[in-house]
Amino acid sequence: MNKMILALAVMGISVAGLQAGTVKCKFPVIKCEPVWKTVIKKIPHQECWEEVQKSPIKYKASELCEASGVVVAKKCIVTKCKTVYTSVEEKVLVGYKNYAKCGCNTFYKVSNCKLKFIDTTINY
């Protein structure tokens, strides 16, 4: 430790100026940009169609004779449906990028709303 202080003293650096600390500052926001996120929504809807199906009918032999013909099948119309999803892209506002300037450096903070000031802690 003594060697380090001696080396700093030789280099002309003040030992008292090397104390570490923090400073809290408020910087005014100079620019604010919205931050958007693309979200894909899936919207369900029904697609329906009709199908003709044949279903066998069991008749007694006596009924077939009275009908004077042979009944093989009865036609049925069946409506079938399935759920189909349509994808829709939508941009959603997720926050704001607030810019401030400290000397030559520009920095930003993302927040849910527009800020007037950015509170920062500077360590030195």
What pLDDT does residue 21 have?
Answer: 82
Longest Cα–Cα distance in the chain: 126
Q: How far apart are the first and last CA of the chain?
A: 21
Beta strands (DSSP E) in 3-116 are: 22-56, 73-102, 105-111
Which residue ranges in the chain fall short of pLDDT 70? 1-19, 55-74
What is the tens place of the pLDDT at every residue in 37-64? 999 999 999 999 988 877 666 555 544 4
What pLDDT does residue 19 have?
Answer: 66
* pTM metric for this prediction: 0.49
Distance CA 35, CA 64 (A): 77
Residue 114 in contact with residue 32, Cβ under 8 Å?
yes
Per-domain residue ranges of the chain = 17-123
